[in-house]
Structure 1
Amino acid sequence: MASRARLDDAAVAAVARYGFGLAGRPRLPEAEEYEDAQGVLVATTEGGDLAVVELPRWRSPGAVRDQLGGTSPAAWVGTPPDDHAALPDRVLALLPAAGLSADSGSLAAQAAAWQRTGRDVVVVHVPVTPGAPEVPAEELAAAYGARLIGSRVEGSGARTGGRVVFCTGLSGAGKSTVAARLVELLVEDGRTVTLLDGDEVRTHLSAGLGFSKQDRDTNVRRIGWVAAQIAKHGGIAVCAPIAPYADVRADVRREVEAQAGPGSFVLVHVATSLADCEARDRKGLYARARAGEIPQFTGISDPYETPTDAEVTVETAGRSVDECARQVLAALS
């Protein structure tokens, strides 16, 4: 049986660049066959040569040239210029998409922006990285049979306008209460908001998960994924899980910003002290954790990794819920 290696999206994009003649052979793990994240065979090695088999996401320059009927249209790389009047009647829009998911809201926003120009636009996603293109814009346009007239590439794609407000803190810190008041303030301002509260998500989206570290991480990632989908379509998601681990919070940030663009993720640390959380422990959870009845309880027998990258730190001591929520609201403007 041939040895097979699974490639991540970045490696598949590198294979595409090689297969399209845009770049040299990429460094890959040793194998005879390579598949993408969905298990589709994308390349093989025969006699040391790398042969591209199929690239489901990427359209080859040859296929694009065939679509254009052998003409040499004007090409623009990235988001359209502000002055649409300067654009010709027909444009080949080449959107750098390596590193972004196929259903990325950033890419959808860019495509929509091109449609609003009123031109006859052919949109093609190309396997180069936004903000750090592996191929110069002029060479990229030439490979697709077009002449370059301009480019404007943003580091992580276009913003969708959606936001994710991700409140983290100890159990009993007041995350849910602050989040609920923030939602009220946003609704009063005419915004469409979805609240993803930790306890409610546990009941529905994450029913069946336990409280092991793996299950807790899965719960937080599920919240992040749903929130990213909301932000991708321009909505606001307010989340209130404990989310004690920095690496998982960072994963959620990357997912959200890949879908909704840079700046779409706002981490809010509800920084209530452990002593205050225990003092207001209406459910008696801390007392049970101290007695050893609840294993792996955050702040007692399991760590809470205090955020060092929070956009907003809310000190709740001596402050009303409304004051805390309005502090977060001010950071969103």
Structure 2
Amino acid sequence: MPARSRLSDAQVAAVARHHFGLSAPVPDLPAGDAFEDAQGVPVAVRESDGLAVAEIPRWRSPAEVARRLAERGWSAPAAWVGRPPADATQLPARVLALLPVAGTPADSAAVSAGAAAWADVRASGREVELVLVPVTAAHPEVAWADLAAAYGGTLLGERVDPEPARTGGQVLFFTGLSGAGKSTIAGRVVELLLEAGSAVTLLDGDEVRHHLSAGLGFSQQDRDTNVRRIGWVAAQIAKHGGIAVCAPIAPYAAVRADVRREVEAQAGRGSFVLVHVATPLTECEARDRKGLYAKARRGEIPAFTGISDPYEAPTDAEVTVDTTGKDVEACARLVLDAVLAGRVQ
């Protein structure tokens, strides 16, 4: 049975671009012989001479789009890439609107915002016949004139945002040793945000373990899976404008980086705030309310973070808090200041 790997939305789009002839090189993919998307749908199989690509339901091939437009009598239609021009009166009677949304899921804010902008053109009273097509293009990998030509059109113009639209949502992701104070501070931050009228959801490590990740153990693979599940749920909340507060240990830098990428792909740059609760190990052990460190020192708990398993301290945290000698309110206010700063940028 071939080794299967799951691809991100961006990787699926890269496979589609390669398959459609919009990019020459075979995309850089993770190890494995077969690949599927986030929903488990087969995408491609690795072969000796490259990739054998399955039909990818979301993405329509440029040749197919061009053929269908020709059947409608659209010969070399004017193509516009991205959001419509500020002055829609420059648009002709027929427009092939191409939305470059590579790497985003079908229900992402970028797709919704792009489609809504063209809906506004229709609502303005202009007699414009539109065909709206989400495309896999990733600027500057694909020149917009070449993209328009691939879909059978002639480039009229483009208005492409340099990065995904920000939804206004945020993920506040606490990381630190057991007993560092993550859950306590996170809980107070949630209270302060609710008092301010924000829509906020708390994804506490212990509660997620009980519900979302029931059945997972404490091997590195299972812990990574748990953190990625938390990150995915948080990204969905932020994508729709809410605030997610997460408080796992999340000891590994690579997994935290994966969560950051997922969140920012869904909710835009700056939507992920990493909070390192940097309380020293000695202080965490002194608290040890659950007796976990004592058991780990006796060898009763294998692979315990900070004792028999590493904790990779962040080098990319937006906020660092050492709770030693500080009260919860002061720590929570420090974090909240960073959240508010991110929401008004």
**Aligned partner of 2:103: which letter?**
G
Instruction: Give the SS at the match of 1:297.
Output: coil
CA distance in 2, matches of 1:126, 1:154: 15
Instruction: Give the SS at the match of 2:203.
Output: strand
C-alpha contact (below 8 Å) 1:164/1:236 kept by paired residues = yes
Structure 1 residue 179: Cα displacement: 0.8
Instruction: Give the SS at the match of 1:223.
Output: helix
Q: What is the CA deviation profile of residues 207-253 of structure 1, one whole-angstrom value per residue up to 9, with x for unaligned ones?
A: 12222222211111111111111112221110000001111111111
CA distance in 2, matches of 1:144, 1:95: 12
C-alpha contact (below 8 Å) 1:164/1:239 kept by paired residues = yes
Pairing 1:122–2:131 present: yes
Map 1:179-198 → 2, pairs under 5 A: 179-198=186-205
Q: What is the CA deviation profile of residues 21-79 of structure 1, one whole-angstrom value per residue up to 9, with x for unaligned ones?
A: 544474799xxx9865445476999xx89987634222123443424823354433224
Map 1:95-106 → 2, pairs under 5 A: 95-106=99-110
Who is 1:60 aligned against? Answer: 61
CA distance in 2, matches of 1:315, 1:208: 33
CA distance in 2, matches of 1:166, 1:140: 38
Q: Which runs of 5+ in 1 are unaligned?
A: none
Map 1:40-55 → 2, pairs under 5 A: 40=42, 54-55=55-56
CA distance in 1, matches of 2:205, 2:60: 41
For normalisation by structure 2, the TM-score amounts to 0.81
Who is 1:262 aligned against? Answer: 269
- Cα 1:171–1:57 change in 2 (3 A) is same
CA distance in 2, matches of 1:106, 1:314: 34
Which of the residues 277, 284, 289 maps onto 2:291? 284
Map 1:83-232 → 2, pairs under 5 A: 91-118=95-122, 121-129=130-138, 132-232=139-239
CA distance in 1, matches of 2:3, 2:218: 35
Who is 2:318 aligned against? Answer: 311
Instruction: Give the SS at the match of 1:159.
Output: coil
Q: Tell me whether 161-170 or 49-58 shows the greater mean CA deviation.
A: 49-58
Instruction: Give the SS at the match of 1:167.
Output: strand
- Cα 1:127–1:175 change in 2 (3 A) is same
Q: What is the CA deviation profile of residues 114-149 of structure 1, one whole-angstrom value per residue up to 9, with x for unaligned ones?
A: 3344455533121222xx332211221233233333
Instruction: Give the SS at the match of 2:223.
Output: helix
C-alpha contact (below 8 Å) 1:163/1:231 kept by paired residues = yes
C-alpha contact (below 8 Å) 2:95/2:131 kept by paired residues = yes
- Cα 1:152–1:270 change in 2 (3 A) is farther
Q: What is the CA deviation profile of residues 174-232 of structure 1, one whole-angstrom value per residue up to 9, with x for unaligned ones?
A: 11111111111111221111100001111111112222222211111111111111112
CA distance in 1, matches of 2:240, 2:168: 8
C-alpha contact (below 8 Å) 2:36/2:43 kept by paired residues = yes
Q: Tell me whether 133-142 or 167-176 shows the greater mean CA deviation.
A: 133-142
Structure 1 residue 286: Cα displacement: 1.4
C-alpha contact (below 8 Å) 1:106/1:261 kept by paired residues = no
Q: How much identity, in percent, do the aligned residues show?
A: 65
CA distance in 1, matches of 2:329, 2:46: 60
C-alpha contact (below 8 Å) 2:26/2:51 kept by paired residues = no
C-alpha contact (below 8 Å) 1:96/1:133 kept by paired residues = no
Q: What is the CA deviation profile of residues 284-321 of structure 1, one whole-angstrom value per residue up to 9, with x for unaligned ones?
A: 21122122221111111111100001111122223221
CA distance in 2, matches of 1:106, 1:80: 14
- Cα 1:275–1:19 change in 2 (3 A) is closer
Q: Tell me whether 298-307 or 79-88 shows the greater mean CA deviation.
A: 79-88
Q: Which runs of 5+ in 2 are unaligned?
A: none
Map 1:66-85 → 2, pairs under 5 A: 66-67=68-69, 69-71=72-74, 72-81=76-85
C-alpha contact (below 8 Å) 1:107/1:158 kept by paired residues = no
Q: How many residues align?
A: 326
CA distance in 2, matches of 1:215, 1:100: 26
For normalisation by structure 1, the TM-score amounts to 0.83
CA distance in 2, matches of 1:184, 1:7: 37
Structure 1 residue 267: Cα displacement: 0.8
CA distance in 2, matches of 1:162, 1:229: 9
**Aligned partner of 2:65: which letter?**
V
- Cα 1:240–1:56 change in 2 (3 A) is same
Cα RMSD between the aligned structures? 3.4
C-alpha contact (below 8 Å) 1:101/1:258 kept by paired residues = no
CA distance in 1, matches of 2:121, 2:324: 51
